[in-house]
């Protein structure tokens, strides 16, 4: 008899999320120093964390014996103020991934449906599965979310529609017109979730905040993991009208975001220098890869984020062979893209090294 028979079937059915391969693990396996490894696999900030955040976190460490502010007073105020909203619109999460889980906790059950695009961020599917809900996958021609088709897929059982904008792993973005048309069609039993983990990278992202101000059934997800460089701290947030934010607050653990992360996030939010530098380095790296791929006639998906999807053929082999040379990229077979790899934009030094190894591996 296996214990699994007594477990929740939805948990047993889960296929675990496969994260980017860690630097230390790769260094151990190759017998190299961690400093010799280039990891461009998880869309992390190549400039590191906001220095202002690091200072704030070092200071906060002295109070590690005190439980964090479970209400997240300072961070929620800081986020709200940066958006021209009030604190009751902001829900903090242990990474914005936790807000995805809170939404599912709050709205999904065995009769409910979640709608997402075919090449959307995988965590939506994992969470839908965990809650026993039906996951509806809508085709995304040209790797761009087809919001009209997603609206047409809504049924009386639909509760959540996830729109990752820009999307990971494709880097594509839907524009204002498509979003407005989608919101015009949204029935009142459905919540539109705009996952904006890469919101800070495009120059003119569409305005979804207006739907929050209007009190619509919408939730925006943002994170400190990407542009602010605090991925290790696990802190993100949801922005929603108070009637929705209040429900999500009920579903979370009392101290879901630790005090160090809260202190770091408050400081990072105000670090406009670090944000501007990160955008600059990203734009430079993006231009470098676009030119390089064009010269090599490698197909790629033009990206609005801090990573690129490039068609190399046999992505699993490319990943493995580049790994042997200490460069960690992301294979895309788990995203139904076996011929593609995803490369995060690094520093120019990292970009050059990555391209060199990619060239070598493609030639072998
Ligand atoms: C990275 C990412 C997130 C969230 O990451 P957290 O570290 O949990 O905040 C959410 N959505 C997308 C699409 C992402 O790429």
Reported as a single tens digit per residue, the pLDDT across 193-215 is 999 999 999 999 999 999 999 99
Q: Is residue 229 part of a domain?
A: yes
* Last residue of one domain, picked from the residues 269, 288, 311: 269
pTM of the model: 0.96
Q: Is 168 in the pocket of ligand 1 (CB under 6 A)?
A: yes
Give, using CA atoms, the residue closest to atom 1 of ligand 1: 197
For ligand 1, mutation pick of 122, 224, 226 (most atoms within 8 Å of CB)? 226
259 and 277 together in one domain: no
Q: Is residue 54 part of a domain?
A: no
The answer to whether 290 touches 302, Cβ cutoff 8 Å, is yes
Element (H, E) at 238: strand 236-239
* Last residue of one domain, picked from the residues 237, 269, 301: 269
29 and 92 together in one domain: no
29 and 102 together in one domain: no
Q: What is the pLDDT of residue 42?
A: 96
**Span 313-321, mean pLDDT?**
97
Q: What is the pLDDT of residue 9?
A: 87
**Span 285-309, mean pLDDT?**
98
Residues 336, 151: Cα–Cα separation, whole Å: 23
Reported as a single tens digit per residue, the pLDDT across 44-53 is 999 999 999 9
327 and 282 together in one domain: yes
Q: pLDDT category, 15, cuts 50, 70, 90?
A: confident
The answer to whether 309 touches 332, Cβ cutoff 8 Å, is yes
Q: Is 97 in the pocket of ligand 1 (CB under 6 A)?
A: yes
* Last residue of one domain, picked from the residues 235, 269, 303: 269
Q: Is residue 129 part of a domain?
A: yes
The answer to whether 176 touches 193, Cβ cutoff 8 Å, is no
333 and 196 together in one domain: no
How many domains would you assign to the chain?
2
134 and 72 together in one domain: yes
Q: Is residue 2 part of a domain?
A: no
Q: Which domain holds residue 218?
A: 61-269
Question: Cα 134 from chain centroid?
Answer: 22
Q: pLDDT category, 2, cuts 50, 70, 90?
A: confident
Residues 30, 28: Cα–Cα separation, whole Å: 6
**Span 246-265, mean pLDDT?**
98
Residue 1: pLDDT above 80? no
Mean pLDDT of the chain: 96
Expressed in angstroms and rounded, the spacing between residue 296 Cα and the centre of ligand 1 is: 31
What is residue 160's three-state secondary structure?
A: strand
CATH number of the domain residue 352 falls in:
3.90.1150.10
88 and 161 together in one domain: yes
Q: Is 164 in the pocket of ligand 1 (CB under 6 A)?
A: yes
Residues 171, 305: Cα–Cα separation, whole Å: 5
132 and 202 together in one domain: yes
Expressed in angstroms and rounded, the spacing between residue 95 Cα and the centre of ligand 1 is: 7
253 and 313 together in one domain: no
Q: What is the pLDDT of residue 179?
A: 98
For ligand 1, mutation pick of 91, 97, 224 (most atoms within 8 Å of CB)? 97
Residues 303, 294: Cα–Cα separation, whole Å: 14
Expressed in angstroms and rounded, the spacing between residue 360 Cα and the centre of ligand 1 is: 31
Reported as a single tens digit per residue, the pLDDT across 55-104 is 999 999 999 999 999 999 999 999 999 999 999 999 999 999 999 999 99
**Span 317-334, mean pLDDT?**
95
Reported as a single tens digit per residue, the pLDDT across 148-180 is 999 999 999 999 999 999 999 999 999 999 999
For residue 218 the two structure tokens come to 């919408």
């Amino acid at each position: 008899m296996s214990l699994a028979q007594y477990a929740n079937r939805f948990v047993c059915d889960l296929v675990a999320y496969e994260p980017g391969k860690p630097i230390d693990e790769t260094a151990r396996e190759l017998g190299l120093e961690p400093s010799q490894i280039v990891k461009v696999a998880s869309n992390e900030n190549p400039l590191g964390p906001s220095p202002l955040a690091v200072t704030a976190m070092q200071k906060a460490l002295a109070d590690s014996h005190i439980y964090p502010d479970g209400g997240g007073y300072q961070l929620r105020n800081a986020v709200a103020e940066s958006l021209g909203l009030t604190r009751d619109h902001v829900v903090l999460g242990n990474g914005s991934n936790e807000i995805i889980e809170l939404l599912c906790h709050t709205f999904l059950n065995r009769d409910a449906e979640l709608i997402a695009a075919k090449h959307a961020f995988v965590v939506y599917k994992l969470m839908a599965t965990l809650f026993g809900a039906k996951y509806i996958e809508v085709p995304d021609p040209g790797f761009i979310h087809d919001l009209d088709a997603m609206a047409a897929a809504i049924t009386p059982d639909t509760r959540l529609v996830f729109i990752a904008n820009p999307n990971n792993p494709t880097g594509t973005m839907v524009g204002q017109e498509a979003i407005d048309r989608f919101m015009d069609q949204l029935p009142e039993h459905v919540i539109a979730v705009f996952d904006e983990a890469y919101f800070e990278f495009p120059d003119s992202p569409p305005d979804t905040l207006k739907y929050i101000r209007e009190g619509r059934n919408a939730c925006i997800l943002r994170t400190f993991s990407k542009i602010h460089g605090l991925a290790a701290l696990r802190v993100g947030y949801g922005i929603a009208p108070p009637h929705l934010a209040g429900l999500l607050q009920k579903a979370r653990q009392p101290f879901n975001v630790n005090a160090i992360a809260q202190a770091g996030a408050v400081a990072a939010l105000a670090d406009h220098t670090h944000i501007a530098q990160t955008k600059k380095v990203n734009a430079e790296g993006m231009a470098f890869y676009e030119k390089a791929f064009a010269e090599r006639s490698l197909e790629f998906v033009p990206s609005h984020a801090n990573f690129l999807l490039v068609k190399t053929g046999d992505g699993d082999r490319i990943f493995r062979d580049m790994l042997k040379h200490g460069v960690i990229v992301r294979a895309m077979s788990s995203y139904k893209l076996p011929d593609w790899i995803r490369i995060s934009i690094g520093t120019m030094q990292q970009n050059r090294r990555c391209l060199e190894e990619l060239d070598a591996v493609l030639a072998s």
